[in-house]
Amino acid sequence: MAESHTRFMKAALEEARRGWGRTHPNPMVGAVMVESGKLVSRGYHVSAGEPHAEVQALRNLGRKPHGEAILYVTLEPCCTRGRTGSCCNAIISSGIRRVVVGAIDPNPKHRGRGIEILARAGLRVESGVLAEECEDLNIIFNHNQIHGRPLLAGKTATTLDGKVATRCGASQWITGKIAREDVMRWRRLFPGIAVGGGTVGADDPNLTSRLPGETTCPLRFIFDRNFKTLSGMRNYRVFNDTYKARTILVAPAGREEVGLYRKYGIQVWEMPGDDTFWSAFSDTCMEKGVTGVFFEGGPGLMSDLLAHGKLDYLFSYRAPKFLADEEAPGFVGGWVVEKMEEALQLTRVRQAALGRDQLLRGFVEYPETSEKKDDRSGPMG
């Protein structure tokens, strides 16, 4: 039975991934229904406001489930009514007598309540099947529910000796095609993507997700403390392309240069220039419904996030190359570490081989014993 549980939960996960990047602020959820060992119906959560996965699977069956039917769902069924009805009520009303759950609802107010409601109604409920995989699917949603703020994630691409570019600043390309395609997939997941003004000036990036048959554009945050992008604003793609309305300049509050960007039709978020900067940015994201931001900026932007203890998650791509050049820039984190136990670490680590390259990703854990450096350059690139 354990083997069949795993097989059908994998099928439910495949369904859930069909909503990749489309369900914010809701989680991705998939469900499959099984009768007599055969998968007879599927469903997934398409987008916020649409029916949840469990309801979709019930509807797609087109009839009442048989008495031995089992519903597999990647996330504990919801027990409250939002824009759609309670999934627990829909499951109970359907006549299903058995439910297998992957991950438990991360919301502390709801955690375990859906399972309890189903059990009280006489259903047999099992949980924890492929729980880690089901939790990993919703790193953004889970973080929002537990911490009440957006997931701020960083991406680095380095050589074996930790370099992010040559001494002349050339960084295209450290990693190969497969790894770069993987980055596009994560861009598709996050509601926002961020770089510093220096990166815009050096690379003139699109900052879109370009997957086979689909190009999408998250909100594009340009952190520009010194308005490096002002002189080239009429030429840079992020300020002039089809997705111009999705570009947001993050700049110091009260500066007259801000008006020039707004006059050109660019959104501006004005932020304080002190240590409240990152908290203010996170608060504004939550107010605007931006539940996660994928930082692809250079070492300066990422280092400031780390130095303030605000980088929540890291995607570390590493290529089998080394420059062996002490003048080449590396990833700088803004911390003073004298002992190995003081090192920052990743937890809930996931690894993947991407052609010749590797991806290591996980949540950033900040040790209490390390000290932050005082010579930070600021958050806006």
> Mapping DSSP to helix (H, G, I), strand (E, B) and coil, where does residue 136 land?
helix
pTM over 0.85: yes
E strand residue ranges, 226-372: 247-252, 267-271, 292-295, 313-318, 335-336, 345-354, 357-365, 371-372
pLDDT of residue 273: 81
| pLDDT per position as a tens digit, 130-169 | 999 999 999 999 999 999 999 999 999 888 887 887 777 6
> How confident is the model over 280-299, as a mean pLDDT?
92
- Asked whether the beta carbons of 22 and 47 are under 8 A apart, the reply is yes
In DSSP terms, which residues pair with 211 in a beta bridge?
214
| pLDDT per position as a tens digit, 232-289 | 999 999 999 999 999 999 999 989 999 999 999 999 999 998 889 999 999 999 999 9
Two structure tokens written together for 174: 């450290």
pLDDT of residue 236: 94
Catalytic residue positions, numbered: 54
pLDDT of residue 83: 61
pLDDT of residue 124: 93
Could you tell me the pLDDT band of residue 371, with boundaries at 50, 70 and 90? low
The region, left, alpha or beta by phi > 0 then psi within -120 to 50, assigned to residue 33 is beta
Side-chain-facing half-sphere of 272: CA atoms under 13 Å: 10
pLDDT of residue 374: 47
pLDDT of residue 167: 72
pLDDT of residue 18: 96
> How confident is the model over 52-70, as a mean pLDDT?
89
Instruction: Say which range, 44-53, 58-67, 161-170, has the weakest mean pLDDT.
Output: 161-170
Q: Does pLDDT of 170 surpass 80?
A: no
266: Cβ–Cβ under 8 A, 6 or more apart, which residues? 233, 239, 244, 247, 248, 249
- Whether a cis peptide bond, with omega within 30° of 0, leads into 173 is yes
For the chain, the average pLDDT equals 89
Of 168, 205, 153, the C-alpha closest to 327 is 168
In angstroms, rounded to a whole number, what is the distance separating the alpha carbons of residues 332 and 21?
30
In DSSP terms, which residues pair with 55 in a beta bridge?
none
Could you tell me the pLDDT band of residue 82, with boundaries at 50, 70 and 90? low
pLDDT of residue 108: 85
Sheet order of strands, 267-271 included: 267-271, 247-252, 219-223, 192-196, 292-295, 151-158, 313-318, 357-365, 345-354
| pLDDT per position as a tens digit, 323-351 | 877 877 777 766 777 788 878 899 999 99
> Mapping DSSP to helix (H, G, I), strand (E, B) and coil, where does residue 294 land?
strand
Side-chain-facing half-sphere of 320: CA atoms under 13 Å: 6
